[in-house]
Amino acid sequence: MLIPGGTGGVGEGAVRAYLAAGAQVVVPTRSQERAHQFRDLLGTAANERLHLFEHDYTSFEGAEKLVATMVERLGGVDDVLAPIGGWWYGKRLWEIDETDWQGAFVALATTHMAMLRAALPRLTQQGAYSIVVGESAHSPVPGSGLVSMEQAALAMMHRVVAAELGNAKRVFLLELGPVATRFTETTDPAQVTSAQIGAVAVAASASTQPGRHVRLLNRTQAEDALVSIGAAQ
């Protein structure tokens, strides 16, 4: 199991869920300090099946090296979950500068593309590749337009790759509403949690269900998704 972005708020729930399910979990991070912090945060959950290390996976070359090493050392890539990148806000589209554009659109889209092109051809037949986006992929958020545009590009990436693959491999799009994570100060009981997203991702990996768009905009949708994916196992 490969989780680029696994150190983040959403990623944490997935890392915990896959470790609890007995998977070998590979989590690259761009920062050694973040690796230490994340290992401390996980505590005893960070067992010998967690492979957490500093590696720049954000370029085509970096993603390629990561996946090739994973195949060499662990024998293959069964599943990938990509909760890469966070939130950006504060400017209307005509106010952004090139740094905003490169960071919030180009860099994130590049990382997703780099991971997909490195991992998908090596993904095992029964494996699942899950792209994570927010509902801003479909609903414009004033002042956060770069996020909406980048997430919309990822949603289309899912549709394109699904059309190109047919039934050859399973690619999911997990569309999230606001998520309760370790970074969330107030929690609304209706919010989907990072633990629930992890549980849905594990169920998708374990199932033989074809890849699809799964809406996890709130807790109820996450519970329903778990039942529908679980029922198809």
Residue that is written with structure tokens 């720049």 in the block:
56
Nearer to ligand NAP, 30 or 39 (CB): 30
User: Given the rule CB under 6 A, which of 78-86, 116-124, 202-210, 224-232 is the region that contacts ligand NAP?
Assistant: 78-86
- Asked if 85 touches ligand NAP (CB under 6 A), the answer is yes
Helix and strand tally (H, E) in the chain? 8, 8
- Asked if 108 touches ligand NAP (CB under 6 A), the answer is yes
Nearer to ligand NAP, 41 or 74 (CB): 41
Nearer to ligand NAP, 151 or 196 (CB): 151
Binding letters toward ligand NAP, positions 6-35, x by CB under 6 A:
-xxxxx-----------------xxx--x-
User: Given the rule CB under 6 A, which of 44-52, 94-102, 115-123, 129-137 is the region that contacts ligand NAP?
Assistant: 129-137
DSSP states of 68-127: HHHHHHHS-EEEEEE-------SB-GGG--HHHIIIIIIIHHHHHHHHHHHHGGGEEEEE
Residue 94 CA to residue 89 CA, distance in Å, equals 13
CB of 106 to ligand NAP, least distance (A): 10
Residue 170 CA to residue 165 CA, distance in Å, equals 8
For ligand NAP, the binding residue among 69, 86, 96, 100 (CB under 6 A) is 86
- Asked if 83 touches ligand NAP (CB under 6 A), the answer is yes
Distances (CA, A) of 196 to 129, 176, 180, 226: 18, 11, 10, 9
In 3D space, the residue among 68, 23, 20, 21 whose CA is nearest the CA of residue 49 turns out to be 23
Residue 62 CA to residue 147 CA, distance in Å, equals 23
For ligand NAP, the binding residue among 25, 46, 84, 109 (CB under 6 A) is 84
Helix (H) or strand (E) holding 11: helix 9-20
- Asked if 58 touches ligand NAP (CB under 6 A), the answer is yes
Nearer to ligand NAP, 98 or 166 (CB): 98
Residue that is written with structure tokens 């909760």 in the block:
83
For ligand NAP, the binding residue among 179, 203, 225, 229 (CB under 6 A) is 179
In the complex, which residues of this chain contact ligand NAP (CB under 6 A)? 5, 7-11, 29-31, 34, 58, 83-86, 107-108, 111, 132-134, 151, 176, 178-179, 181
